[in-house]
Amino acid sequence: MNKLEYTISAWPINGLPATLAERTRRVYDRLAPVYSISTNLFHSRAHRRALEICDLADGMRVLEVATGSGEMFRRLVRTNPSGSTLGVDLSPKMARRTQHRVQSEFPACMTQCHAVDARHMPFRDAAFDSVFCCYMLELLSGEDIARTIGEFRRVLRRRGQLVLVLIGQKTPAFNALYRVAGKVAPAFWGRQVEERVPELVEASDFHIERDAQVRQTFYPSRVLVARKNGD
């Protein structure tokens, strides 16, 4: 076991089973018709902040991993109208909703959304200039987080940017509530990983360039913009 694997194996799991992707897929499939309510209430401010502090320019090849019902995805397409914007989500119903919505809103844009597991993505190496992923790493085991960050690195071009949004961990009362929610419905809530992910990102050959905290109502988020190091 190398140092990184050892660090991950020591992460607190708060009752999260090692593999629960199948349950996560079912839960998010069921919630697809109403999930946008939660995104608009708790995630939209962090989405906007991520777009403000990253280096997204029109004409880029952009991937969003875990689109959910597509609120951030539509922002990305709007900012990148003459580039290509691809989305993936584990839940086929989330991916289908996002695909329908984006195709009717932006018929002239190059954009697609498919049901894909972030842990093994069907894209060639260095296919993207930017990868975005908001509020998904919480739902993966430590090992899967490391594997998925490895996938982000693989599909990004040299010096490409990775933009992550994580649930913040700086508010003890919120953390206590989250621990309870995560025990009750682990496949939906997962557990907080914000304090540990930066170390893992840097150990995976990225350099964190920007780091911002956002609060929407009582819900804290952390936005990280990391650059893939040159080979």
Ligand X SMILES: C[S@@+](CC[C@H](N)C(=O)[O-])C[C@H]1O[C@@H](n2cnc3c(N)ncnc32)[C@H](O)[C@@H]1O
Helix (H, G, I), strand (E, B) or coil at 65: strand
- Give min distance, CB of 118 to ligand X, in A: 3
Give the DSSP letter of residue 42: I
DSSP conformation class of 78: H
The stretch among 9-17, 84-92, 169-177, 219-227 that binds ligand X (CB under 6 A) is 84-92
Among 16, 43, 194, 196, binds ligand X (CB under 6 A): 43
Does position 136 interact with ligand X (CB under 6 A)? The reply is yes
Question: Do residues 19 and 211 touch, judged by C-beta distance below 8 A?
Answer: no
Q: How far apart are CA 33 and CA 40, in angstroms?
A: 14
Q: Which residues, including other chains, have CB under 8 Å from residue 100's CB and lie 6 or more apart?
A: none
Q: Which residues, numbered 167-206, are part of the site for ligand X (CB under 6 A)?
A: none
Residue nearest to ligand X as judged by C-beta position? 68
Q: Identify residue 147 by its one-letter amino acid code.
A: R
CB atoms near residue 136 (< 10 Å): 21
Pick the stretch among 89-97, 172-180, 199-207, 217-225 that binds ligand X (CB under 6 A): 89-97
- 198 with 137: CB under 8 angstroms? no
CB of 20 to ligand X, least distance (A): 9
Among 61, 63, 68, 130, binds ligand X (CB under 6 A): 68
Write the interaction track for ligand X spanning residues 90-129; mark x where CB under 6 A is met and - where it is not.
xx--x----------------------xxx----------
Q: What angle (nearest 5°) sits at the alpha carbon of residue 160, between those of residues 194 and 154?
A: 80
> CB 81 → ligand X: shortest distance, Å?
21
Rounded distance between C-alpha atoms, residue 69 and residue 66, angstroms: 9
Q: Out of 134, 156, 224, 225, point to the residue binding ligand X (CB under 6 A).
A: 134
For the bound state, the minimum distance from the C-beta of residue 142 to ligand X, rounded and expressed in Å, comes to: 14
For residues 24 and 84, which CB has a smaller minimum distance to ligand X in the complex?
24
Helix (H, G, I), strand (E, B) or coil at 216: strand
Order of strands across the sheet with 61-65? 110-115, 84-89, 61-65, 128-134, 156-167, 219-228, 206-216
39 binds ligand X per the rule CB under 6 A: yes
Residue of 60, 72, 145, 163 that binds ligand X (CB under 6 A): 72
Write out the residues near ligand X by the rule CB under 6 A.
21, 24, 28, 39, 43, 65-66, 68, 72, 88-91, 94, 117-119, 134-136, 139
